[in-house]
Amino acid sequence: MITIFLVWGIVVAVCCYLWPIFGIRKRKMGEPPLENGLIPYLGCALQFGANPLEFLRENQRKHGHVFTCKLVGKYVHFITNPLSYHKVLCHGKYFDWKKFHFATSAKAFGHRSIDPNDGNTTENINDTFIKTLQGNALNSLTESMMENLQLTMRPPVFSNSKISAWVTEGMYSFCYRVMFEAGYLTLFGRDLTRQDAQRTHILNNLDNFKQFDKVFPALAAGLPIHLFKTAHNAREKLAESLRHENLQKRNHISELVSLRMFLNDTVSTFDDLEKAKTHLAILWASQANTIPATFWSLLQMIRNPDAMKAATEEVNKTLESAGQKISFEGSPICLNQMQLNNLPVLDSIIKESLRLSSASLNIRTAKEDFTLHLEGGSYSIRKDDIIALYPQLMHLDPEIYPDPLTFKYDRYLDENGKTKTTFYSNGLKLKYYYMPFGSGATICPGRLFAVHEIKQFLILMLSYFELELVESHAKCPPLDQSRAGLGILPPLNDIEFKYKFKHL
């Protein structure tokens, strides 16, 4: 036993001796300032993970707008000046934006690589998303979501006693339940042969989704899912429910899912379970950020009486001009894309809510050594290094957004009540000032549908319910920083609200 400890002691001592010589990257001429961190391999990961915003602000003060940090074995060049964002995107030919995203998907969801270059599939997944989530395809998707939201929200049987009763619930739990069920039905259709058991099936999937999503930040960081037994079992159950033999029993499946169901063996070498796991990736992408975004939009609107009043007036006016009548027993409300797009107040409420809660990390991998030309100078970038934008720095910049931590429902409205698109930094107009959905080639292809979903949810909440916070002056819960880099941060704790159906 003593010999074993002695051997391990020698190994550790040798590693500690060699680390400063071979394990620390040396900054070369023309490269950005470099932070290697003190911990081998991890580098600055612990400091970054504890509070990304403060970590980046501190390094920005120390090094300027461009600097490099070692994070979990990777060298990441952070570009923090929003005036340089468009310059970064102009270097697209030097970037491989797919490499990181495809690798993360494979690790987290358990399928083989979906990069056509790796030979498992010829499907261009981004083209599939654009084809089925934008343009004309968005019409049927939006219509289906509106119908499913009302199927989830409206009472199945009209009852005066139920209509008049207040219900108290955690707002995040409410948004999670409603948006998950409606979103699941919209993507994967309804089981018309087992309608009575359908909600139970979806609620079981909801529980499994929560268990899996809880460890997603660790999976994205590279930890194997087998370290998390409960999450692993939940993932496998979700995938099992999305096998094609199960989906074929459902009707009104979205074009996105149905198109991918019938990819034949000449397009993909994935077996049925692997295909199901790619469907799980789509489910996660459609829910993980939309649910917290919906929560923040609803909470901020209810907390702000002026926002609530302006939004209610806009919704009522829109429904009236569209000839839509609110009823529990009549036809469900139906608004088309044009009508949903013409809601500047709701648009501003959603944008402001996402500005305050988004913490996405926009990353690209360098395909080769090249020189990055920015507003303040040029920098040498090495092959396989990562270029990163962290828009939360911009979203909370007081020069761009005065009083940045305060929710202002009309921040994105101009003096005429139309959508405001002009924001400045250092006296210069910004091309990019709002980036919760990413940018350039990595921008979320489902962003239009996500905003429509949130608008539809808010419209229905204002139309069907009376809404109150249990504590009228409740503060916003803090953001869950453990998910920084993944998109919209959820609340660290839930907040209770009351709702009851209106007397229509």
Binding region: 107, 289, 444
Q: Which two tokens stand for residue 319?
A: 């429904």
Q: What residue numbers does the annotated binding site for substrate cover?
A: 107, 289
Q: Which of 333, 331, 307 is nearest to 320 (CA)?
A: 333
Quote the crossing angle between the two packed helices 272-287 and 171-188, to the nearest 10°.
140
Q: DSSP 3-state helix, strand, coil percentages of the chain (rounded to 5)?
A: 50, 15, 35
Taking a C-beta distance cutoff of 8 angstroms, is the pair 165, 500 a contact? yes
Backbone angles phi, psi at 89, to 5 degrees: -70, -20
Nearest 5°: the CA angle 34, 73, 31 is: 25
Q: Which of 96, 53, 84, 91 is nearest to 432 (CA)?
A: 84
User: What whole-number distance in Å separates Cα of residue 464 and Cα of residue 452?
Assistant: 18
Q: What residue numbers does the annotated binding site for heme cover?
A: 444
Say which residues have a Cβ less than 8 Å from residue 395's Cβ, sequence separation at least 6: 355, 356, 358, 401, 404, 434, 435, 436
Burial (CB count within 10 angstroms: exposed 0-12, middle 13-18, buried 19+), residue 33: middle
Backbone angles phi, psi at 19, to 5 degrees: -55, -50
